[in-house]
Amino acid sequence: MSSPSAEVPYSGVRYTLNGVAFLLRVPRTTIKQWANGYTTVTRGREIKKPGVLQTEREDEPTLFTFPELIELLFVKELTHPQPNEKSSSKLMRKKLGELVTIAQNLRPQLGEYPFARADFKRVGNQLVTAKLLPQPNANVVTLFDTGAGQGQTQFLTNPQTMQHLADYADELAQNLVFRDDIAAVWYPKEDHVVRLDADMRFGAPIVPSGRTVETIYNRFKLDGEDLEDTADWFGIPVEEVKAAVKFQEEWLAA
Partner 1 sequence: MASRVGVKILFDECVSSKIAEVLDHCASRCDPPFSVHYVTDDEFGICETKWLPKRAQHGYVLVSSDMKMRSDHDIAKFAALHNAKIFLLDARVSQQHRWNLLKWLANNLTKIVSTVGSTQEGTTWIVYHDCKVTIVEPNVQTIPTTNEKRATNPDQS
Say how many C-beta atoms besides its own lie within 10 A of residue 211's C-beta.
19
- Options 137, 173, 212, 227; binder of partner 1; rule CB under 8 A: 212
Would you say 96 or 216 has its CB closer to partner 1? 216
Mask: binding to partner 1, 5-44, rule CB under 8 A, as x and -?
xx-xxxxxxxxx-xx--xx---------------------
CB-based contact 21:6 (threshold 8 Å): no
Scan residues 130-189 and list those touching partner 1 (CB under 8 A): 180-182
Cα–Cα separations (whole angstroms), residue 233 to 204, 230, 237:
20, 5, 10
Cα–Cα separations (whole angstroms), residue 230 to 110, 146, 242, 252:
45, 59, 10, 20
Signed CA dihedral, 115, 164, 87, 83: sign only: positive
* The total number of residues written for the chain in this structure: 254
Name the one range near partner 1 by CB under 8 A: 33-41, 144-152, 160-168, 209-217.
209-217
Instruction: Give the residue from 61, 58, 60, 98 showing the smallest Cα distance to 78.
Output: 98
Would you say 112 or 167 has its CB closer to partner 1? 112
CB-based contact 183:70 (threshold 8 Å): yes
Shortest reach from residue 159's CB to partner 1, in Å? 27
Name the one range near partner 1 by CB under 8 A: 59-67, 82-90, 149-157, 185-193.
59-67
Instruction: Give the residue from 124, 107, 29 showing the smallest Cα distance to 67.
Output: 107
Would you say 35 or 92 has its CB closer to partner 1? 35
* Residue count, binding to partner 1 (CB under 8 A): 54
Residues at the interface with partner 1 (CB under 8 A):
1-6, 8-16, 18-19, 22-23, 59-60, 63, 65, 67, 108-112, 180-182, 197-204, 209-212, 214-216, 218-219, 222-223, 233-235
